[in-house]
Each structure stands twice: as structure tokens, then as C-alpha cells.
Chains A and B, each alone.
Chain A
Amino acid sequence: MAAMTSTLREQPVAPDSESMSGTVTPAGGRPRGRGRLSRNWWGYLLLLAAALAFVLPLYILVTTAFKTNGDIYSWPMKWLPSELTWDNLVTAWDLAPFGDFIANSVIVTVVGATAKVVLAVFTAYAFAYLPFPGKKILFVVMLGALMVPGHVTLLVNYITIGNMGLINTYAGIILPGVASAFGTFLLRQHFLSLPKEVFEAAEVDGAGHFRKLFSFALPMSIPAVATVGLIAVIDEWNNFVWPLIITNSVNMRTLPIGLMYLKANDGLTSWGVLMSGTLVVVLPMLIVFLFAQRFIVTGLTGAAAGSGR
């Protein structure tokens, strides 16, 4: 795993590989022989601008969450808070059942993502190593689900879940999202890339499919499984429209919906309170992203076609 991460890491930052901006031959006749910094000053400037455009909103979010109302509602804008306060967070908790929101989000995310990964692993193993008549067609049909736009399925899924009597339940929130087509695809490809000698040897030793899956295929696929799992966690945590539709009581709302509830409930929008609630929604995924960036980036850039399914 360490080996894999380091190879992934190396590519974007390899200092000695020649880039477009790399050593320009003086023979080109361009007056560019000066130092790297002076030659690329505009590059640094643009990089700084890009960083600012994305850091500034985050800075506003964090500082406003802990600013006093006096600081928030003053002009010219106070870039640095004159004092820090927990009042906004306390008020958010008073105005909306944030404890429930957090519990709901955690339950839905943990159960939903786990179920999704388990389904993906078993299905991927089946498609990689088990026989079934018409397996190839079945696989294509499964992949076809990636092209179905999720927004078009909302209405009928709402009716289906209603007929099952699961509206406003955790099962109702979780069930339609646990089907995994992209995760299955990713893991199947990975399983098929594993050295087949290992499986043949295991077979000779009399290992059944369960042993082959749990003792060989899975341990050799930890990075791929982690990628599928992390994407599932992010999707479940951030999911908005489905929990909005399928829950109808405040105490069943997940955090993103709770945020909208808070916004509607704090009267004339109180920015400090709203930002502190927003921070609660943002922080967990930001931390996950910080620690697992490379899995997430490689997974998401591949998963783009999947639209969360």
C-alpha cells in the first residue's frame, strides 16, 4: 500500500521531470534566460489568486462561525474577529435539533456506505470469478445503470419507498442509494488484475470461494476498497435531495437538510449561527479529504460517470 501511494504521489510533484515550463533552450532566441522566479512571476501570481479564491470563502466560514454579532454586523468588514465566541454554535443547537441531525447523518453514512461497499465487493467477486449464464450481458446491464440520471428516478423511488412503508425511516433514506454499479465495476476490474496464480494455488489447497474472497482477493485490494468506501461516505454525507424528499419530520433530517431548516428558522438570517451550523456539516468531510486525498481524487476522477451510483 505504501508503495502504491508513493507512486501516486510522485507524479504531480516530481521536481525533475520536464514540464512545459521546464528548461527553455536559450537557443530558442527568447530573452528568458533569467531566474525561475522572475521568469514565472505571473505563474506565482495566478497560483496565489487561485488559492485566495478558494481559501477566502473557507476563511469567512470559519471566522464568522466564531465571531460575535457585533463583529459580523459591522462595516467595513472586520477581517479578524475582535473576540471569539461559542454563542453561535449554542444558538444553532437551540434553534434546531443538531444532535439529531448529526446522529442521523452518522447513521445514514456509516450504514449506507458499509452496505454499499459490501454489496460492491460481493457483486464484483461474482462477476470476476463465478460462472453464470449470460454473465456478460448482466454486467453490461448493470453498467447501464450509470447512465440513468438520478434526478429522474426520485419521484418513482419515493412512491416505491412509500409503498414499502419506509417513508421517514433510516431504511427509506439508505435503501435506494446502496446499489452499487460504479463501485462494483471498479472492484471487478481490480479483482481481475490480481495474479491468478494465487487463486489457483488457493484452489489446490481446497479453498472455497469465501476463503478466496476474504483471505486473498480482499487483502490484496485494500486501496481499491478504500476508494470505493470513501466515495460512498462522501456521497452519503452530502446527499441532499433524497433525504429531503423521503423524510418529513425535523428529527429525521440529516445535516445538509438541517442546515436549510436552520436557515429558515433563525428568523432574519443570523449569519454567525448559520455559519456555525455549516461548519458542522463541512468539517468532517474536509478532515476525511485531508487524510485520504489521493484515494478520493483517483476514485472521484474515475467515478465521475457514476453520479454516485
Chain B
Amino acid sequence: MVSATTAPPKASPPPSSRRLSPALKKRRRRGYALFALFAFPNLALIAVFAYWPILENLYLSLTSWDFISPEPFFVGFANYTSLFASESFRNVLWITLVWVVVVVGVSLLLGVALAALFSMKLPGTTAVTGIVFAPHVISGAAIAAVWLFIFDQNYGLARVAFNMLGMSSPAWTTDANWALAALLIVSIWKGVGFVAIVYLAAMQGLPSEVLEAARIDGAGRFQVFRRITLPLLSPTTFFLVITQTIGAFQAFDIIAVMTGGGPAGATTTLSWFIYDQAFQRSNVGYSAAAGTVMFVILMAITALQFKFIEKKVHY
């Protein structure tokens, strides 16, 4: 076990240890066989449960099926035309847009602010960092349950806050005007610690000489942060925007436990819609079409940001 200490996390240049030993053909063939034995089970699972679904989903989106009848019935693009013709689906897309923009935007703003606070290294920071990050490793369903109680109109913590402002607490999760806000608060509360930690790690990697130099030149703390720290953090910001956006699009457990997409569809995001259509209404083709829409959007965002990164990340 002592040998474990001798394994430092090296950032050495890409290893050149891939040269094959000048072995006999037989030995090489044994290597191939062993590779297959070691890697193919995992690769097969990835093929079946990650790649195949994308293709099959594409096919299903061109069919009408209810899980029960023997064969999916080919309908061409009918699912797509009816999706985009439907008022309720356009509403779903709108709610999803609001959801993603607010979750990602607020999480990043609060996250970078928290990271700046943590990087002051005041006593107690380590403990607070842990506490803020903890919700990230806790079940979303459990967090949703706790917040359901917090949002309880009569006995919840939210009522304390509203009473302090001289108001009475709304019915949050059952009020169509408040339900989405409630879910947004919970989602941001769960995810902001992760954003803060990623930003914090990035800040600690910044060249301290540059920041010190700016301070010596008379730049204020806020000015340094805005003019130097933030631009230097832009690669981190891009990384977080991608991952947080992809995550926000697929938010599910909090919605399922707190509102179930309601009231009156007020919290039906694309992810809930896909689930609801397939597993509660057995509209397989319709759900698959919505799934393809999500897939295309996420791929477009990924591609767009990869392109953006190439241009902007390095200064």
C-alpha cells in the first residue's frame, strides 16, 4: 500500500508508452483478444444504451405506437407537425427556455459571487464551502420533499420570510403563478454549490502576480474582479454554461416530486413532457419526437459552444 504514495498526479506530457513491444504476431493477437475481453463488455453496453437509443428514438418519432400494439405504425413527420402546431407544446418550449436561462444564469452569477467570497479565505470558509456543495450529492427527490415543506403556506419556513415582510405566503407549488418560481429556487439551491466550487478551483489557478500587480497599480478589489478575474475565468464560464445548460434541460426529479408538471402545465418543461407523453399517456411516437427536439437542441448548443470556445477561450 505504501506504493500508493509514490503516485503523484503528474501533469507530464502525453505519455509515449504506447509503443508496441517488438513482439511476435502471436503475442499481438493475444493482445487483441485481451483488449476485446477487457473493453468490449463496456463498449457493448455503451453502444446499446447510449448510441442505439438515439437512432431508434429517431425512428420511433416517425411512428405512432402505444407500447401494446404489435408494431409501431409509420406516420412520417406527422408527430413533428402536430407538435409544432400545438399551442401547448410551444408553451412547453417557452417554459423550458425560461427554466434553462434562469437556472443557468442565476446559478452562474451566485456561483461566481460565492467563489469570490470563498477565495477571501476568511476563517470558516472551508466548512461553508462543504455545506454549500452538499446539496449537489443529495437526492433531488429528497431535496424536493424538504422544500415542499418549506413552501407550505401555513407551516413552512417561507411563511416566516413572507410574514417578516408583512405579507402572507403564496400557495407556491399549487399556484400556477408561483410554481415555476418555487422549482427554480430549489433547482438553483441544489446546483449553485457545484458552480461555486468549479469557479473557486479556477480562481485558485489564476496567476496571482497579475492580480497583485493590478492591486499595486491602484485598482480596487471590485475592479480587479471585473476587469481581470472574470475575463480570465471565461473558459470556466463556458464549461459551466455547457454543462449547466445540458443539466437544466434534463431536470426531472424536483419537478416530479414537487409539481408533477402542474398546476395546469405551468411547470411542464421539455423533460417532463417527454416523460409524461411516453410513460403516462403511452404516446410513444409523440414523446420520441419531443425527445428528438431535445437532442437536436442540446447538440446544437454543444456544437455552438465548442466553436465559440475555439475562438474565445485562449487569450
Residues in A lying within 8 Å of B, measured CB to CB: 1-4, 11-15, 17-21, 24-25, 28-29, 40, 43-44, 46-47, 50-51, 53-58, 60-61, 64, 72-77, 119-120, 122-123, 125-127, 130-133, 135, 138, 142, 145, 147-160, 175-176, 178-181, 184, 192-194, 196, 199, 203, 209, 219-223, 234, 237-238, 240-241, 244-245, 255-257, 259-260, 263, 269, 271, 274-275, 277-278, 281-282, 285-286, 288-289, 293, 296-297, 300-301, 304-305, 307, 309
- The answer to the question of B291 belonging to the interface, with a C-beta cut-off of 8 Å to chain A, is yes
A221 to B116, CA, bound (A): 33
Stretch at the interface among B81-89, B101-109, B198-206: B198-206
Question: Once the chains bind, are A145 and B294 in contact (CB under 8 Å)?
Answer: no
Choice from A24, A126, A154, A263 contacting B145 with Cβ under 8 Å:
A263
13 A–B contact pairs at CB < 8 A?
A28-B216, A54-B134, A75-B155, A122-B42, A125-B38, A149-B298, A151-B250, A153-B57, A193-B10, A256-B140, A275-B146, A296-B137, A300-B194
A1 to B57, CA, bound (A): 45
Question: Once the chains bind, are A43 and B120 in contact (CB under 8 Å)?
Answer: yes
Residue of A nearest to B141 (CB): A256
| Chain B contact residues: helix, strand, loop or mixed | helix
A278 to B193, CA, bound (A): 21
Question: Once the chains bind, are B142 and A307 in contact (CB under 8 Å)?
Answer: no
Given contacts A18-B212, A304-B243, contact A12 B141 (CB under 8 A): no
Q: Least Cβ distance of A119 to chain B in Å?
A: 4
A130 to B159, CA, bound (A): 62
Interface residues on B, range: 35 or more
In chain B, positions 121-150 with a C-beta closer than 8 Å to chain A are: 121-122, 124-143, 145-150
Residue of A nearest to B219 (CB): A28
Question: Once the chains bind, are B140 and A238 in contact (CB under 8 Å)?
Answer: yes
Question: Once the chains bind, are B117 and A12 in contact (CB under 8 Å)?
Answer: no
| Chain A contact residues: helix, strand, loop or mixed | helix
Q: Least Cβ distance of B223 to chain A in Å?
A: 11
A28 to B200, CA, bound (A): 26
A17 to B14, CA, bound (A): 31
Stretch at the interface among B45-53, B176-184, B307-315: B45-53
Question: Once the chains bind, are A54 and B125 in contact (CB under 8 Å)?
Answer: no
A75 to B28, CA, bound (A): 76
A53 to B56, CA, bound (A): 44
Residue of B nearest to A2 (CB): B5
Q: Least Cβ distance of B194 to chain A in Å?
A: 7
Given contacts A271-B152, A281-B141, contact A152 B53 (CB under 8 A): yes
Question: Once the chains bind, are A75 and B154 in contact (CB under 8 Å)?
Answer: yes
Q: Least Cβ distance of B37 to chain A in Å?
A: 8
Residues of A within 8 A of B278 (CB): 154-155, 158
A2 to B288, CA, bound (A): 50
- The answer to the question of B100 belonging to the interface, with a C-beta cut-off of 8 Å to chain A, is no
Question: Once the chains bind, are B32 and A132 in contact (CB under 8 Å)?
Answer: yes
A113 to B184, CA, bound (A): 31
Question: Once the chains bind, are B215 and A25 in contact (CB under 8 Å)?
Answer: yes
- The answer to the question of B247 belonging to the interface, with a C-beta cut-off of 8 Å to chain A, is yes
Question: Once the chains bind, are A263 and B38 in contact (CB under 8 Å)?
Answer: no
Question: Once the chains bind, are B141 and A156 in contact (CB under 8 Å)?
Answer: no
Residues of A within 8 A of B274 (CB): 151-152, 154-155
- The answer to the question of B230 belonging to the interface, with a C-beta cut-off of 8 Å to chain A, is no
Residues of A within 8 A of B215 (CB): 20, 24-25, 28
Question: Once the chains bind, are B139 and A238 in contact (CB under 8 Å)?
Answer: yes
Residues of B within 8 A of A271 (CB): 149, 152, 155
- The answer to the question of B284 belonging to the interface, with a C-beta cut-off of 8 Å to chain A, is yes
In chain B, positions 17-65 with a C-beta closer than 8 Å to chain A are: 17, 20-21, 28, 31-32, 34-36, 38-39, 41-43, 45-46, 48-54, 56-57, 60
Question: Once the chains bind, are A119 and B41 in contact (CB under 8 Å)?
Answer: yes
Choice from A18, A57, A192, A278 contacting B15 with Cβ under 8 Å:
A192
Choice from B38, B45, B132, B147 contacting A57 with Cβ under 8 Å:
B147
- The answer to the question of B172 belonging to the interface, with a C-beta cut-off of 8 Å to chain A, is no
Residues of A within 8 A of B41 (CB): 119, 122
Choice from A150, A176, A193 contacting B250 with Cβ under 8 Å:
A150
Residues of B within 8 A of A64 (CB): 149
Question: Once the chains bind, are A60 and B149 in contact (CB under 8 Å)?
Answer: yes
Residues of B within 8 A of A55 (CB): 131
Question: Once the chains bind, are A285 and B138 in contact (CB under 8 Å)?
Answer: yes
Question: Once the chains bind, are B17 and A192 in contact (CB under 8 Å)?
Answer: yes
Residues of B within 8 A of A209 (CB): 34
Question: Once the chains bind, are B252 and A297 in contact (CB under 8 Å)?
Answer: no
Most chain B CB neighbours (cut-off 10 Å) among A51, A149, A234, A237: A149
